[in-house]
Amino acid sequence: MTTTLSDILDGFEFLDDWEDRYKYVIDLGRELPPFPEELRTEANKVRGCVSQVWLVTEVTRDAAGEPVLTYRGDSDALIVQGLVAIVLAVFSGHSAREILATDVDGLFARIGLKDHLTPQRSNGLKSMVERIKSDARAALAA
């Protein structure tokens, strides 16, 4: 079962302290589907992350011909794996235009990630989002 953005927002709102929220983020990462070893390549690696993070993009077209991006991802670090799960819930399965229009900073502020991540993890999260938005721009240009 795929965790939706709504599920994640509900989970963060339900939990009061950040120790429990960190555990929740780790649990989200553990729920990611298995990521095949053959996809752990340099080409799929996200630059700017201290931990290793891999994202694989699949671009399809909807009935109107608009590009839709679907993602798979993983990390070698538990909390970062959870951040990957959150990023996938936000962006995967959406059109390139929706991805580019998403107020991700507002969303991350709403759940408190901006204030409770180390600078390294914040930079890694930013790198993941930049990669996805770059993919969306490329899909629109294709």
H/E segment holding residue 64: none
Copy the structure tokens of residue 87: 């990023």
Q: What is the span of the domain harbouring residue 25?
A: 5-141
What CATH number did the domain enclosing 93 receive? 3.90.1010.10
Any idea of the CA torsion for 91, 7, 10, 25, to the nearest 10 degrees?
-70
d(CA 60, CA 69): 7
pLDDT, tens digit, 9 for 90 and up, residues 51-109: 999 999 999 999 999 999 999 999 999 999 999 999 999 999 999 999 999 999 888 88
Number of separate domains in the chain: 1
Residues labelled catalytic: 49
Higher pLDDT, 119 or 47: 47
For residue 50, give the amino acid letter: V
